Each structure stands twice: as C-alpha cells, then as structure tokens.
Copies of this chain bind each other. A is one copy, B any other.
Amino acid sequence: MANQKKMVEEITAMDEDFAKWYTDIVKKADLADYSSVRGCMVIRPYGYAIWENIQKILDGMLKETGHENVYMPMFIPESLLQKEKDHIEGFAPEVAWVTHGGTEELTERLCVRPTSETLFCEHYAHVINSYRDLPKLYNQWCSVVRWEKTTRPFLRSMEFLWQEGHTMHETAEEAMQETLNILDIYAKLCEDYFAIPVIKGQKTEKEKFAGAKATYTIEAMMHDGKALQSGTTHFFGDGFAKAFDVTFAGRDNTLQTPFETSWGVSTRLIGAIIMTHGDDNGLVLPPKIAPIQVMIIPVAQHKPGVLEKAQELRDRLKQQFRTSMDASDNTPGWKFAEYEMKGVPLRLEIGPKDIEKGQCVLVRRDTREKYFVSLDELETTIANLLEEIHNSLYQRALDNRSSKTYTAANLEELKDIAQNKPGFIKAMWCGDEACEERLKEEAGVTSRCIPKEQEHISDHCVCCGKPAKAMLYWGKQY
C-alpha cells in the first residue's frame, strides 16, 4: 500500500489545546515544515499553492487599481535605516545584521529588510521631479526578516513572505484616501475570498507603525476568540519624504514635498484561514483559494470501468474547477481522512453502482453533507456548492465573532470578561495611553482598533472614568 508510513493520525482537539491543534494542522496538512534555521519555516507545496492563489487575487486587485510591481534590494545600509528617527527606533531591536561579505568585514553593516520604506523613499527621490510624476503607486512581493523571540509558522516567523505597497501622492488628502482604499481592498480580500469577516479600524498611537502618522488595520477573530491583525495600511504624512529629500515641482511651480503611504499583508493570512475555518478533522479551506477544489476518489477502483470513468470526470471538471484525483492504492477511508485533513472543499466519490446510475457522490468538507448528483448536472451543482460553502464558512465565522463579542462599561466588567470569556470587548476609551497600558497589565488585553463603525456604550473611559473619546475593540491577540 502506498505511503505506508503516512497514516492519518489524530490531531489534538481544538477545545483541548488550540495552539497544539494549530501546529498539528500545519504539519499534518503538509503546509509547512521546520528548518534548522530558528524561526524560519519551509513552506511546502500545498501551503505555497495557497499563497500563490492569494497572490494572484490580490495582485490582480492592485493592478486593476493602477499599482505597479517593482523590486528593491533586500539589504538596507545602517545609515539609510537611521534617516527616519521613529522608524529606526521601532525596528532596530528586531533586524538581522550582515557584517561580512565573503571573508571581508563590511565598513558599514547592512540590515536585512524588515520593511522597505527607506529604500522606496531613496528611489522615489530619484524618480519624482514634477507633480506630473505623481502619484507613484509601487508594490513589491518579497520576503522580510524580523528577529522575533517566539515564533509560530505563518503567524509569527523570523522570515515571512508579504507584499509591501509604498505610494507617493501630491496631497495629504490623496494619500489618506489611498490608505483607506487599500484597507477596503484588504477587507474585500479577506471577506470575499477567504470568507473571513474583519473589523476595519484605526490603530491607537501606541499600536501604530514606527514612523507613521496613522495606521489602519483589519482585525479578524480566530475560532478561539483571539484577534489576528490581518493587514495594515499606514499614512505617513510627509515625514519620510522630508527625511529622504523627496521633492517635486508643484502645479504652482514651487518645490513641494509629497505624501506617503505604505501597506502590507503577509503569509500570516494563511494562519488566519487555518484558525478561522479549521475543525477537529483538520484544515477547512475556503473554495476560492483552495489549491484543490474537488478531489475525486474512485471507489472499488479495481473494478472494470471505474478508473476510466473517474479519469474522464477529472479531465472534464478540470476545465472549470481545480480538480485532482487520488487513484493510489490506499483505502478510500484513508483517502477520505487525508483530504479532510487537507481541507479540500468537495470530495467526489464514484464507484460501480454510481456509474450504473449515472451519478456520483459529493461530500462537503465543511458540513460533511452528502449529495447524490446526476453526472449531467455536475458542473452546476459543484459551482453552487462551492458558492454555498463560501457563504456558509463566512456566516459561521461571523456567528463565532458575534457570539464572542462583549461590551464592558467599567473596569470590573472588562476584567471579568477578559478573564472568563475569550473574544472581543467593545469599550469606551479616553484617548490616554496610560489607560491602554493599565488594561494590558491588569486585564491582559490590548486595543485592537478604533472601528470605523462607532457605537456608544457609555460616556466614560472604561479604565479611568474620564470622558470617553471613542469606542475601541479590545482583545488578546496573536
């Protein structure tokens, strides 16, 4: 029997140990492998195929909105990184330093990019001269490195893959609009393609990006009630541009400074997908990014005609869906468990009796419902089911979030919820960083965001009781 060594092993139950469940899935669904480099992972073919699908969708959305791809060096000279004061302070503790090239010691050490604002600004100073050169809407797909102490595959790793957009605009308004437009694109990506509902909002001063004037975020709730910051967009004002001497001749012929944004999403999104939709049988993939949408499993495949029919179906369905077939000599039961573990949205079983009746069996990964489907109606049924699975995953995630979102009017309430009920807490805030600090210390929660859609919960800050400025989402995060 093929793959004798590989058995569909039990994974830890979610409710028992969510963290262990997560790493079990990463390993057993063949998404990633550990390497001998601390905190760096090998992204295996099945995991990388998910990333390729994400890239293809987002890259299309960015190109449609006028963005162009470029590639910047992976190294940043120390002096360049230091040009913007807040930025270097934020990143210096977590960069990897190259000090030697071959056998020679470098005269100036280079950091491996943790993000590329500095390099983009340096280049923009070369290519922006007139207002006619604006806006510049550049993006790059690359890997970046942040020297993290504790790491987990996809969620927080020393090296990760991402896209980073860096744009320059003639006015602050236009740059702010870009910052918010991209946030909308990220939200659309999560909701329409990954079936993950997100909350759009602004980060507090304390939580914003090093060097930014304002940071926006999409926050998703994982199955266990914890928050995952899934994408951020930053408005820089003209701070970086000034530090890097980026100027342009304006419409009135005066020398002006452009306004900048940056924004990124990363392979962390794969972590979000795992932790939003997965269950005790393994991964559950949203159909639009699943590397395999339909897995065909011939039943009693040694019987005459079965394999031929299964192959015929595979070739037929491939025209329209990402379809694969497992004709190995593992048992059907082994295969069922294997592709459940891998989260394939639909399983198609076909055996001698089905062929006689001109039908096959479709099984949904999310609900495990079975459908007997006439082969004549296969494409329509599959298209409908994939759509239904997407909607149902989205609804389930939304229900999970709703049922785990609480409101707190005072500190005691908030602490009680934080201690006993994992989830989001909506509570008012006075705008003072000291209150954020206190909530972190006493309740273990951080501010997730100041949501775009505000609600009035009380007049007073949940922490200090002073007049409230805004409602925030609070929670524990990955």
Residues of A within 8 A of B (CB): 2-6, 33, 35-37, 40-45, 48-49, 51-52, 68-77, 80, 92-103, 109-110, 112, 119, 122-123, 126-127, 129-130, 132-133, 138, 142-143, 145, 147, 159, 161
- A42-B123, A95-B101 known, 12 other contacts, Cβ within 8 Å: A36-B77, A36-B122, A37-B76, A45-B138, A48-B68, A48-B69, A92-B102, A94-B102, A96-B98, A96-B110, A98-B98, A112-B112
Asked if A42 contacts B69 (CB within 8 A), the reply is no
Query: How far, in angstroms, from A90 to B48 measured CA to CA in the complex?
Result: 30
**Nearest Cβ on chain B to A263's Cβ, whole angstroms:** 18
Query: How far, in angstroms, from A80 to B69 measured CA to CA in the complex?
Result: 34
Query: How far, in angstroms, from A43 to B98 measured CA to CA in the complex?
Result: 22
In this complex, what residue of B is CB-closest to A93? B102
If A42-B123, A98-B112 touch, whether A143 touches B36 (CB-CB below 8 Å) is no
Asked if B119 contacts A42 (CB within 8 A), the reply is yes
Asked if A69 contacts B45 (CB within 8 A), the reply is yes
If A33-B126, A45-B68 touch, whether A159 touches B102 (CB-CB below 8 Å) is no
**Nearest Cβ on chain B to A22's Cβ, whole angstroms:** 20
Asked if B100 contacts A99 (CB within 8 A), the reply is yes
Query: How far, in angstroms, from A257 to B275 measured CA to CA in the complex?
Result: 38
Asked if A132 contacts B2 (CB within 8 A), the reply is yes
- Which B residues are CB-close (under 8 A) to A130? 3-5
Candidates B37, B70, B76, B122; contact of A77 at CB < 8 Å: B37
**Nearest Cβ on chain B to A57's Cβ, whole angstroms:** 16
- Which B residues are CB-close (under 8 A) to A109? 100
Asked if A72 contacts B143 (CB within 8 A), the reply is no
Asked if A36 contacts B80 (CB within 8 A), the reply is yes
5 nearest CB pairs, A to B = A40-B73, A45-B68, A101-B147, A43-B71, A97-B100
- Which B residues are CB-close (under 8 A) to A110? 37, 96
- Which B residues are CB-close (under 8 A) to A40? 73-75
**Nearest Cβ on chain B to A208's Cβ, whole angstroms:** 21
In this complex, what residue of B is CB-closest to A73? B40
- Which B residues are CB-close (under 8 A) to A43? 70-71
Candidates B72, B132, B159; contact of A74 at CB < 8 Å: B159
- Which B residues are CB-close (under 8 A) to A133? 3
Query: How far, in angstroms, from A33 to B127 measured CA to CA in the complex?
Result: 9
Query: How far, in angstroms, from A220 to B43 measured CA to CA in the complex?
Result: 34
- Which B residues are CB-close (under 8 A) to A44? 70, 127
- Which B residues are CB-close (under 8 A) to A69? 45, 48-49, 52
Q: List 26 A-B contacts (CB under 8 A).
A: A5-B129, A5-B130, A6-B129, A33-B123, A33-B127, A35-B119, A36-B77, A37-B73, A37-B75, A37-B76, A37-B77, A40-B73, A43-B70, A45-B68, A48-B68, A51-B71, A73-B159, A74-B74, A74-B143, A93-B103, A95-B101, A95-B102, A96-B110, A97-B101, A98-B112, A99-B99
Query: How far, in angstroms, from A76 to B38 measured CA to CA in the complex?
Result: 10
**Nearest Cβ on chain B to A341's Cβ, whole angstroms:** 16
- Which B residues are CB-close (under 8 A) to A122? 35-36
Asked if B92 contacts A35 (CB within 8 A), the reply is no
* Residue from A77, A102, A132, A138 whose CB has the most chain B CB atoms within 10 Å: A102
Asked if B95 contacts A97 (CB within 8 A), the reply is no
**Nearest Cβ on chain B to A97's Cβ, whole angstroms:** 4
Query: How far, in angstroms, from A3 to B147 measured CA to CA in the complex?
Result: 43
- Which B residues are CB-close (under 8 A) to A48? 68-71
- Which B residues are CB-close (under 8 A) to A103? 93
Asked if A73 contacts B41 (CB within 8 A), the reply is yes
- Which B residues are CB-close (under 8 A) to A100? 96-97, 99, 109
In this complex, what residue of B is CB-closest to A75? B37
**Nearest Cβ on chain B to A399's Cβ, whole angstroms:** 34
**Nearest Cβ on chain B to A160's Cβ, whole angstroms:** 10
Query: How far, in angstroms, from A80 to B35 measured CA to CA in the complex?
Result: 11
- Which B residues are CB-close (under 8 A) to A3? 130, 132-133
- Which B residues are CB-close (under 8 A) to A161? 71
In this complex, what residue of B is CB-closest to A44? B70
Asked if A35 contacts B102 (CB within 8 A), the reply is no
Query: How far, in angstroms, from A80 to B38 measured CA to CA in the complex?
Result: 13
**Nearest Cβ on chain B to A53's Cβ, whole angstroms:** 12
